[in-house]
Structure 1
Amino acid sequence: MDWMAWTWPTATFFAVIATLLIVFTVLAIRFPETPRVGILRIETTRGDRLFITLLGSAFINLAWLGVVGAGQPYALVVCLIYAAAVFRWV
């Protein structure tokens, strides 16, 4: 894997994403969910809300880098608040 220039933050990021996918797969098997309608007025499941959260977090981080530049851990706090809101109301 020398061609990818892995760093600890990169490896941690992909490990967290893989862990989330595994956890949500186990949750879907153990506790089947019926889709619900939130503020977006579309039916969403846990997996849909996870995807919306990951996509939105990517945009939050990109905007943070473009506007603020440094202090990326603060963007993580914003992303966690965003994730909580998505899973609560979407």
Structure 2
Amino acid sequence: MAWMAWTVPTAIFFSTIAALLVIFTVLAARWPETPRSGILGIETTRGDRLFITLLGSAFINLAWLGLTEAAQPWAMLVCLVYAAAVFRWV
């Protein structure tokens, strides 16, 4: 896969996404969840909340790159807080 010019951060990113998908698949098979309704007023499952978290984190990172001069690892901290909020209240 040399043609893709993989860097360590890129490999870590995609490995993390793959690991999350595997973990959430195992969780869904082992402990099925009934949907719950949060502050959005829609029923969501763990997978739905993971998708909302990943989508929101992408937007947070893009905004971080475009609007601030701060180092990108700080955006990860913001994304982790966002993820905790989504899994708690959505």
Q: Same fold (TM over 0.5)?
A: yes
Aligned to 1:10: 10
Once the two structures are TM-superposed, the CA of residue 69 in structure 1 deviates from its matched residue by: 3.2
RMSD: 0.7
- Sequence identity percentage: 78
Segments of 4+ moved more than 6 angstroms: none
TM-score for both structures, normalised by structure 2: 0.97
- The one-letter amino acid of 1:16's match is T
Once the two structures are TM-superposed, the CA of residue 47 in structure 1 deviates from its matched residue by: 0.2
- Cα deviation 1:19-77 (Å, max 9, x = unaligned): 00000000001100000000000010000000000000000000000011341011000
Aligned to 1:43: 43
CA distance in 1, matches of 2:30, 2:18: 18
**Structure 1 gap ranges (5+):** none
Aligned to 2:80: 80
**Structure 2 gap ranges (5+):** none
CA distance in 1, matches of 2:46, 2:59: 20
TM-score for both structures, normalised by structure 1: 0.97
